[in-house]
Structure formats: C-alpha cells, structure tokens
Amino acid sequence: MQQIHAVTPFSAPASSSRVTNESTTKIATLQAKLNRQLGPEFISQRPGPGGGPKLTYAEGWQIINLANEVFGFDGWSTSVVNLTVDFIDLNQESQRFSIGVTAIVRVALREGAFHEDVGYGAIENMKSKAAALDKCKKEAVTDAVKRALRNFGNVLGNCLYDKVYIKEVLKMQVPAVSIILE
C-alpha cells in the first residue's frame, strides 16, 4: 500500500534551466547523510508474532531525531492522510477491548518531495476503550511516520530491511554513551 511521490531535488525551477553549484553541493551533502546506515545503538529487537523470529526496528523517537538532524527541524513535516479504526471487539465475559487501527501518513520535505506509507496499531484485552483507542492511534501514526521516512534513505531506517546488514550490525558492540552536562 506504499505510495511514493517525489519531486526530484535535481529539478530546477521553471525560471532557471541550470542547477547552481550551491544547490548541487546541498543535494550531495543531503544524499550522503541519507546513504549512511544506522549504527547498533539505534537498533532494537523484540520477539516476532506468535514466538516467530525476532523483529528488528528503530524506535520512533530515534528516527524523528535523525530526520531533524538530516532535514533540519523545520525542513520536514508530517500529516495524517487517513486514520481508520479497523475493529473494536468487546469480550462480553471480561468486559475488555481489542482494537486495531490503520494510519496513512505523509512525510513532506520543504522542497516538495514526499512519501506516504501505512502504519498499524493494535491492542488486545484492554480494560478501557478510550485508552485502547489512544494507544492504537498513536502506535499506527508512529509506525506510518517511520515507514514513510525510511523511503528517504538508509539513515532513516531503510537499512533495517537489509538482512545481510542486520546480521552484521547485530554482532557489533553498542558504543557507550556519555552525557556531559555543564
């Protein structure tokens, strides 16, 4: 269901027929950032559905921070294109809810390029319907944002789909993080 729409960053404005050296350098710098792969400190794993193979992922806040570093905090934006509650089931015996939600999100760059993708959020056996909907909607939107951002390049999560890379990066030791507060 992935939709890709992009205005190539190499297209010149209608009033100009050539790309300036400054814009060529800017494009090359951006592409170099996007081509980098995530280090082991960005990669997490969790059990797969039904006890299947582990799933490898990057947390939403990390991908958003990386997008801010790559594009600038004001160089990109997100919008929810569609949010659909797929099901709300109430177990009559336990009076608990199971819910599934789908989100389609668009991530757009200042220059006009954008990607849309789908995300999903689900929960089972939740006591509060409102809390379950809240959790599912947020999860679906975060998932869709991450999936849309990955289409811009490896550093925003696309490298997580490369099985050979994942096998190697998981062997690496996560570097120690030190925070110095002044």
Residue range 73-126, pLDDT digits in tens: 999 999 999 999 999 999 999 999 999 999 999 999 998 999 999 999 999 999
Residue 4 is predicted with a pLDDT of: 40
Q: pLDDT, tens digit, for every residue of 149-179?
A: 999 999 999 999 999 999 999 888 776 666 6
pLDDT, tens only, 11-36 = 444 445 466 888 888 888 899 999 99
What fold, for 3-7+20-169? Enolase-like; domain 1 (3.30.390)
Query: pTM here?
Result: 0.81
> Would you state the pLDDT for residue 18?
62
Mean pLDDT of 129-150: 98
Q: What pLDDT shows up at residue 15?
A: 46
Angle between helices 60-71 and 21-35 (to 10 degrees): 160
Q: What is the mean pLDDT of the chain?
A: 88
Q: So what's the pLDDT on residue 138?
A: 98
Domain boundaries, the chain: 3-7+20-169
